[in-house]
Chain A
Amino acid sequence: MAVYVDASLCKSCRLCIANCPKNVFQTTHKVNKKGYNYVEAVNEKDCIRCKLCERICPDFALHIE
């Protein structure tokens, strides 16, 4: 099981952060090619694989396996 974030596609809309029931995601100070502070899965061990983030991500940046 793993949470994959494609940093090159993330636009930092934070919908995943707001909707995740287990607070897995957090924005970072790292900046991607387009200038967004992309999110990272910081509490990956808390993930319950509800896949809500993957369903609602507007940018296809997330994948849960």
Chain B
Amino acid sequence: MSELKINPNRRFLRPEKLPHFFCSGCGCGQVLNYFCQALDALDMTPEEMLTIGGVGCTARIPIYLKSDTFHGVHGRTLAWATGVKLVRPELPVVIFAGDGDLASIGGNHFIHAARRNLDVTVIMVNNLNFAMTGGQVAPTTPEGAHTMTTPYGSAEPRFDICKLAEAAGATHVERWTTSRPVQCVAAIKRALSHKGFSLIEIVSQCPTHFGRYALGSGDPQKLVQWIKDYTYTEAEGTKMTPEEREGKLLCAQFVNTERPVYEGTNEVL
């Protein structure tokens, strides 16, 4: 038996924290893997950046990275990032936030950070429900989905966070899924090298809550397949009728522009 060789991308992770806290087959672990692959491809190290997480499953991702980390109040990740960027404008800031963190409780911080064009990278893992608190309905839950708090199906329309970011003035917006690893890594690479507010939304599986309540299965591969059917790329969209595209999410790069970034003012009041 040869000696065990470990994944070289684990050099970015804190060894004492592994194995991580995510459930078996969780998309957050995959996003952490994609982020490490992007760091490896860009020759960056987590030590030179600040990662911020709020509350939720996704917000645990920074804990495993060997970076400076903030982890605390629900939804206030971008408020902290604004403060950090005003004091240390040269420090790269990466925010990991779930759909509960960004779309619901931190929605106001989100639109104003996008409006100001704050120079941060936001990686939003959209697992379509509030997973850490037990699978309640979230703003991003698809219409008609059964969750813990909507046992007869959600009656609310779904929130499209990429459209919101685009309308609020974000300069780099993309949506991908955990089932598309190569595109995810490429999108994170583009986001890390982008100057300005960049949002990468990654639609992810939640086998423990969304899978069991809404889809009737906790098998990660079935959920990945469901996510593949729930989303479509631009190339797939050209072959689909408008009725087939109804209710599904487009995976693409929506915005990639340049605009002056927010750096505050040097004048002392």
Contact = CB atoms under 8 A, between A and B. Distances in A.
To the question of whether A and B form a pair in one complex, the answer is yes
A14 B33 contact: no
B22 to A, nearest CB: 6
Contacts of A58: 22, 25-30, 32-33
B242 interface: no
> Which of A6, A11, A60 neighbours the largest number of chain B CB atoms within 10 Å of its CB?
A60
A61 B9 CA distance: 11
Contacts of A14: 25, 219-221
Contacts of B8: 63
A12 B10 CA distance: 19
B215 interface: no
29 contacts: A2-B2, A2-B5, A4-B5, A4-B6, A12-B24, A14-B220, A14-B221, A15-B224, A18-B224, A19-B221, A52-B181, A55-B185, A56-B181, A57-B7, A57-B29, A57-B30, A57-B33, A58-B22, A58-B25, A58-B26, A58-B27, A58-B28, A58-B29, A59-B19, A59-B20, A60-B7, A60-B13, A63-B5, A63-B6
Interface of A: 2, 4, 6, 8-9, 11-15, 18-19, 34, 36, 52, 54-63, 65
Give 4 nearest A-B pairs by CB, closest first. A58-B29, A13-B25, A18-B221, A11-B24
Given A11-B19, A55-B185, 11 more contacts: A6-B6, A8-B19, A13-B24, A15-B224, A36-B24, A57-B30, A58-B22, A58-B30, A59-B29, A60-B6, A60-B29
Interface of B: 2, 4-10, 13, 18-20, 22-30, 32-34, 36-37, 178, 181-182, 185, 207, 219-221, 224
